[in-house]
Amino acid sequence: MALFMVVLVLLFILALSICTALLRWNELKFSKKGLPPGTMGWPIFGETTEFLKQGPNFMKNQRARYGSFFKSHILGCPTAVSMDPELNRYILMNEAKGLVPGYPQSMLDILGKCNIAAVHGSTHKQMRGALLALISPTMIKQQLLPKIDEFMRNFVSDWDNKIIDIQEKTKQMAFLSSLKQIATVESTSIAQEFMPEFFKLVLGTLSLPIDLPGTNYRRGLKVKYPSAFRFSLHSIVSSRLSCSFITLQARKIILTILKQLIEKRRGNQESHKDMLAYLMSKDDNNRYKLSDDEIIDQIITILYSGYETVSTTSMMAVKYLHDHPSILEELRKEHMAIREKKRPEDPIEWNDLKPMKFTRAVIFETSRLATIVNGVLRKTTEEMELNGFVVPKGWRIYVYTREINYDPFIYPDPLAFNPWRWMDKSLESQSNFLIFGGGTRQCPGKELGIAEISTFLHYFITRYRWEEIGGEKLMKFPRVEAPNGLHIRVSFY
């Protein structure tokens, strides 16, 4: 027995020495002079476990120790984390200086090589220009809003006296509404085949197989997400994403559906008025003409970028409104006033969106309080100096914007859901407002997303009241989601 104890102690000491040596070795490996302060954790895994287990607290603790610009090794990459508002702005504004999007190759493989996050410089300008033309205020007013209105009105039409999972519904809503704007006539017929493949594709871009034995985090995952952890393009993405067979298969099927759609349209010369028609048209001589591959990747970009942001913001708005009846009443007042001036069959139009000031405030407050977007990723194309520190070529930069959302100087009583704080327009135009990103990659779909969520809320709250059942759990980090769904009982108002 005594011998066994001695062996056990020796093994323990050996293990401890190996661990210390590994940690030391990893620190030395990244100890080049001039790097930002911080720790790199274990070889390969870095500090991923701590980051995922402690969530935002990991970031806050590191900031307390090392300042607002520190190094770490998370999600498979040496990373410089910036929580410094000034520096964040600089990084977002200076893509031309070698601070390009840092989304991993495997994600770009899934979303396509012409995907907007995959291209830089003049190609990015062209792709972005083509996209902006598609979702400009004029397009929203003339083309998109009528489709959004028709879709939302029908989508919520039969919810009376039902128990629904609002998480699932808002996901379907975000996808189907975009699909209708892209290919209006065909959207109903292709949706059944397209939607499950699209959901697989999204899951593939969000899956991170992390196999770190013995952590609570892993045990938690086993219960909730067998062998996979999910991230959002708009929140955090890992370089070790799994580009699985199923995901690539889903991309292939989506490509086939879209290629057939394009060929069919070329074949029958019918005229259409939707995003696909605009992308395919050769009329406007000044416009950059996209190849078929670019058109397809542009469509996947639109579907993908607006999907999780719009669906999660809508779900969380429903949640916060449920929890704050007086705010719901205020919002209802705004929408009832708009409805009262219309016949029941009249759509929501561009001119109705402007007066929806409180709705806009509810959307911003929801995005802020829930932090739908934790930050964005960049990587360095060459070694560079930032805030007096050296960031080597190829390092990822995590522009972590989450903490700004809870800054009491910008948002007094930051944990309160208080849409009124946004009624003063200046808050939206502040340089700290990074809910939709900033600089050259600032979200081009901001107004479209707001129009979609506003129209959804219009039909939902003017028709229904609802109550939550089950008090279901909500996860806030690294993604906002209800692991078991968010079930509500809906009845006519």
CB 272 within 8 A of CB 184: yes
Does residue 36 belong to the site contacting ligand HEM (CB under 6 A)?
Answer: no
Q: Which is nearer to ligand HEM, 78 or 306 (CB)?
A: 306
Does residue 372 belong to the site contacting ligand HEM (CB under 6 A)?
Answer: yes
SS3 80: strand
Does residue 89 belong to the site contacting ligand HEM (CB under 6 A)?
Answer: no
**At a CB cut-off of 8 Å and minimum separation 6, what does 63 contact?**
70, 83, 403
Q: Which of residues 217-236 bind ligand HEM (CB under 6 A)?
A: 234
Q: Which is nearer to ligand HEM, 276 or 310 (CB)?
A: 310
Cα–Cα distance for residue pair 28/22, rounded to 1 Å = 10
Cα–Cα distance for residue pair 442/399, rounded to 1 Å = 13
DSSP conformation class of 164: E
Does residue 276 belong to the site contacting ligand HEM (CB under 6 A)?
Answer: no
**At a CB cut-off of 8 Å and minimum separation 6, what does 134 contact?**
275, 278, 279, 298, 302
Does residue 299 belong to the site contacting ligand HEM (CB under 6 A)?
Answer: no
In order of 321, 331, 393, 444, the CA distances from 470 in angstroms are 17, 25, 50, 37
Q: Using CB atoms, what's the residue nearest to ligand HEM?
A: 445
Q: Is 77 annotated as a binding residue?
A: no
Least distance from ligand HEM to the Cβ atom of residue 426, Å? 20
Interface residue with ligand HEM among 109, 444, 460, 466 (CB under 6 A) is 444
Q: Which of residues 113-132 bind ligand HEM (CB under 6 A)?
A: 116-117, 128, 131
Contact region with ligand HEM (CB under 6 A), list: 304-312, 317-325, 354-362, 482-490 = 304-312
CB 331 within 8 A of CB 359: yes
Does residue 315 belong to the site contacting ligand HEM (CB under 6 A)?
Answer: no
Least distance from ligand HEM to the Cβ atom of residue 449, Å? 3
Q: Which is nearer to ligand HEM, 49 or 374 (CB)?
A: 374
Instruction: Report DSSP letters for 243-262, one per residue.
Output: --HHHHHHHHHHHHHHHHHH
Q: Which is nearer to ligand HEM, 128 or 240 (CB)?
A: 128
Distance of alpha carbon 46 from the chain centroid: 24
CB 365 within 8 A of CB 422: yes
Binding residues: 443
Residues that bind ligand HEM (CB under 6 A): 101, 116-117, 128, 131, 135, 234, 301-302, 305-306, 309-310, 313, 367, 372-373, 376, 435-437, 441, 443-445, 448-449
Enumerate the known binding-site residues for heme. 443
